[in-house]
Amino acid sequence: MTVYTATPRGQAAHQLFLDVQTRITDALASLDGRQSFRVDQWDRPEGGGGRSMVIEDGRVFEKGGVNVSAVYGELSEAFARELPGSGRHFFATGVSLVIHPRNPHVPTVHANFRYLEKGDGEDYTAWFGGGADLTPWILYEEDAVHFHRVWKAACDRHPVADHDRLRKWCDEYFYLPHRGETRGVGGIFFDYFGTGGERGTPADLDEVQRFVEDAAGSFLDAYLPIVERRQHTESTEAERAWQLVRRGRYVEFNLVYDRGTVFGLKTGGRIESILMSLPNLVAWKYDHQPEPGYQTALLEVLKQPRDWLA
């Protein structure tokens, strides 16, 4: 990987994300049992690089990617104005994952934890962002409760992280205005933590970093028990068709609204890594109408998000 210059905090964050990537891919590959993760080291010509790890056609996981990057360079004037702080130079590192299981009874999951520095020399602004959210195709309320319970426990260990605020922020962020639906049943989301920028918290960065380390380490506890509980559930052709249609909503959000996708495209990111979150198989059907039962039950909670721990 290309050598980069970052503050000690930036270097520590990058190492943390590499460690998190290794732990998560080892655990997921072990659970799948049939496929391992392909490792793809890449360099970014403008500065930096990354390590993408992708699993495809597994027993449990139809498509999944866990990507770590550390990139740096100069932002365009227009994009620099959209971010907190002054100057145009930046350093960004993060770990991002999306896992699409094969069985429609096993939910798709996303998580991302990132750190950015923007500025020139010692005059720079730094912040953390990230979160995790669960996207079921067939709703099991106990799975949603478990997922939220793990994230609440992580937040409760750190005064800087108000779980209720991060939970609501997640529902608001992972929302498709053109559909009038949230993408899934939520989780947590935060951005600009450490600055006063757009809803960010001007908190001590050391405290924020400790929270991010804890949250990133909580992902497997939040997700693996759900996969283990649902992976052997029998599914029907109708449930599979529903899964493919609903994956279309996932693609719509990632390509139209997702900040990570936008940031990657605007900073000349590696397109294979940026779009690794997209499932291999997806369907759009004209004027598709959900059927009563598990389909309408899911849509009810997507149109009216719940506090799953209330």
**Does residue 176 form part of some domain?**
yes
- Domain of 107, CATH number, reads 3.40.1500.10
Q: Could you give the number of structural domains in the chain?
A: 1
**Does residue 229 form part of some domain?**
yes
**Does residue 120 form part of some domain?**
yes
Q: Is 278:254 a contact under the CB 8 Å cutoff?
A: yes
Token pair recorded at residue 258:
């997702």
For 62, counting Cβ atoms within 10 Å of its Cβ (0-12 exposed, 13-18 middle, 19+ buried), the class is: buried
Domain with 41, as residue range(s), is 8-303
Could you report the average pLDDT of every consecutive run of 10 residues in the chain (310 residues)? 67 96 98 97 91 97 96 85 81 96 98 91 84 98 98 96 96 96 97 69 82 97 98 98 97 90 81 88 95 97 96
Query: Which of these is catalytic: 110, 146, 148, 158?
Result: 110
Catalytic annotation present for 232? no
**Does residue 310 form part of some domain?**
no
Provide the pLDDT for residue 265: 85
**Does residue 309 form part of some domain?**
no
Provide the pLDDT for residue 2: 42
**Does residue 2 form part of some domain?**
no
Provide the pLDDT for residue 1: 39
Per-residue pLDDT tens digits for 256-292: 998 888 878 887 778 888 888 899 999 999 999 999 9
Confidence (pTM): 0.92
